[in-house]
Amino acid sequence: MKFGFFDDINKEYVITTPATPWPWINYLGNEDFFSLISNTAGGYAFYKDAKYRRLIRYRYNNVPMDNGGRYFYIKDGETIWSPGWKPVKTELDHYECRHGLSYTKITGAKEGLKAEVLFFVPLKSWCEIQKMTLHNTSSDIKKIKLFSFLEWCLWNAEDDQNNLQRNLNTGEVEIEGSTLYHKTEYRERRNHYAFYHVNAPVQGFDTDRESFVGLYNELSEPQAVLDGKPRNSHAHGWSPIASHYLEVELKPGEKKDLIFILGYVENPDDKKWESPKVINKKPARTLIQKYDSIQKVDRAFEALKDYWVALLDGFVLESGDEKLDRMVNIWNQYQCMVTFNLSRSASYFEVGIGRGMGFRDSNQDLIGFVHQIPERARERIIDIASTQFEDGGAYHQYQPLTKRGNDAIGGNFNDDPLWLILSTSEYIKETGDYSILDEMVPFDNDESLAKPHFEHLKASFYHVVNNLGPHGLPLIGRADWNDCLNLNCFSTDPNESFQTTGNKTGGKAESLMIAGLFVVYGREFVTLCRRIGKEQDAKEAQKYVDEMVEAVKHYGWDGEWFLRAYDYYGRKVGSKENEEGKIFIESQGWCGMAQIGKEEGLIEKALDSVKERLDCKYGIVLNNPAFTKYLIEYGEISSYPEGYKENAGIFCHNNPWIMIAETMIGRGEYAWNYYKKICPAYLEDISDLHRTEPYVYAQMIAGKDASKPGEAKNSWLTGTAAWNYYAVTRYILGIRPEYDGLRIDPCIPPDWKGFNVKRKLRGTTFYIKVENPKSVSKGVVKVVLDGKVIDQNLINTFDGGRHEVLVIMG
């Protein structure tokens, strides 16, 4: 069942019924100021950090679902309704939500009145614009009462819900004309405030929640709206809100535009006040003036759309398959930019409190957006590396506001360091900019410990070398990429974190996933060493890579697939010897991508085992058989019900690793089928089962052992976005930047006749036409560059111009 449709021309997903199977959201903002907005206008806004600078209060895991947002109440006679359906839930005569690239447009109509609200965050601005257009489509004069509404958060979103004895006494506001200011705690340690403005005279307002809503009312029936009159309340303590009251008269056919601005301001400490107890509003007035007319707002919106046109112009596919084209050209790239901005910090599944930017997450996310904004990718790499420890280890997370490591989580996730080699090597391949290796970068944010970025990569490499177990395989630490494989935790206490608790020390738990990862990015490190003239470093590193390959062959092969790990006691994990969890996806993917044992046929055997044991209708499950009992020596992975999350769920992040490995052995049909199974555009028809947005990837789809196979969870903020984009563009389509140029090496289903790609790289634009006359999956027999046959499938002409490339497969 569908709940809307793709509008590819406008790059929008159009939702036509408000009661979607789960709130379907969008993200507004591209740099410092961000908003989450659902198809019914739920969600919240924040400046940089959803924990420390959240503007709007939002209630997760609540009943009813998706409570809180930026709401408008319209009282038209005795009828009360909202353009986005919620929170009033009056049945609308017409409803539509258009989620576009960093904007959302919600339209509702009732009894001859149409209300359209465009939500977006302008470029380089710390505010959310809400442009409302009211249109009287009836033949009668309309006299309506309009109430805006949002509830302020006390900035620290965790403290906001915990420290009520303080927070119910600190709320403070100021009111100046049509602008409602939230200044809680500004008198003391804060130098920032928020405001909500409308560009019209108001006939009233409210800033105290209880006065507006009523103590025992719900947001669906605020007492002020029911009564049709505001209370003109001033919050002093208790719960501050912002609500404008406007009386609007519309003649038949008349339209009226209103501009609401939700803004954030920071003042220098010496310029906090206009006068005693009166906040310095000058920056707010300047921001309001910037968007105080329809013309200014429309120009800002056009600039935002132009920004996205430019971002998406770096890779454009014409395949003849509209679903593939819309994912590659629009939605997958868009989701990659969102994960770049937010990592895993704030979605409708991540509350923006417990997690900041992930070390491993942000490094992996980079491979999905580096072609769009390489200069910001470089900045992100330096930010990440700056949180690394001198021994190569790393904080698992860091806070986006401070860019400092998160002490509460700590480190010792032993895969983390290697992802820095991934991000750096992909950045250099995209840009040709080796100077990043000379950039002075601190360890643990201590400038006195700064060394060239190359030394951070070297520390990452040797962190593995210096932490090997008895089989010569990497020690897992707290966990590797699979945070829920906690081989040193041994927890019996439900109040402990599986991932940050190590109740047993001195164990020798080893990871085959890290082993494969080390071989892949160890080779990249060797290549980088040679390219910058560090031959001795390259020679020494190659020795360790070779030793790891042999250790995997000798101790990591189980006969038909690669082991997953060795546990605390040195016993096999992911082996036919195990009762449950006999095979895992991660080690098949990474040892497959590392091509360990290819000559002996190990890769093909391992991937055949994936097909036989892990594949199902909705994707590749993480492990099989599912765990049916809690194994204390395995940790969190065995705590989930069968078929969910890491216990035999389809953890979409790792499916692309298998796709890539399949292309490496030339099995394009397998790679393509795996791609389609988890790609959201191909799942739109089962939205009632899938539940999450049909335009972005989810982290997890329930596996074959679940009660509802095919049901998705944890959408938007997942490494799935970057890895699927990487897999389909660089390995299935085969358009792959390398150090010396652009490699064109497709691996496609044999029934594909070809495709066209526009790819920008290092200031040069390539128009690539791939033809497959002999219906092969892999192999290039002829390359024609600007009408001349060349003897390789690596294009290394970078002159700032445009070039035509014809590639014949065979």
- List helix spans (H) across 291-417: 294-311, 322-326, 332-342, 359-369, 374-385
Name the token pair of 702: 């329930």
Given 208, 365, 483, 745, which residue is catalytic? 483
Quick one: which of 659, 668, 678, 676 has its CA closest to 752? 668
List Cβ neighbours of 717 (8 Å cut-off, separation of 6 or more).
338, 339, 342, 343, 344, 345, 346, 347, 349, 350, 699
Angle among Cα 205, 209, 212 to the nearest 5 degrees reads 50
799 is an active site residue:
no
Q: From the centroid of its chain, how far is CA 62?
A: 23
Helices 602-609 and 585-593: crossing angle, nearest 10°?
Answer: 150
Asked if residues 627 and 581 have their Cβ atoms less than 8 Å apart, the reply is yes
Residue with tokens 């209370």: 231
Name the token pair of 637: 């992975």
Cis peptide before 87 (omega within 30 of 0): yes
Q: Which residues pair with 132 in a beta bridge?
A: 117, 258
DSSP state of 475: B
Q: How big is the chain, counted in residues?
A: 810
Name the token pair of 717: 């903020």
- List helix spans (H) across 631-727: 655-664, 668-678, 687-690, 720-726
Asked if residues 558 and 574 have their Cβ atoms less than 8 Å apart, the reply is yes
Name the token pair of 556: 């990591």
DSSP state of 738: E
Which H or E element spans position 162?
A: helix 157-162
Q: Which residues pair with 315 in a beta bridge?
A: 759
* CA atoms of 219 and 213, how far apart (whole Å): 7
Name the token pair of 462: 């040797």
Name the token pair of 487: 């081989």
Angle among Cα 560, 562, 566 to the nearest 5 degrees reads 130
Asked if residues 692 and 600 have their Cβ atoms less than 8 Å apart, the reply is no
Cis peptide before 494 (omega within 30 of 0): no
- Which residues are designated catalytic? 483
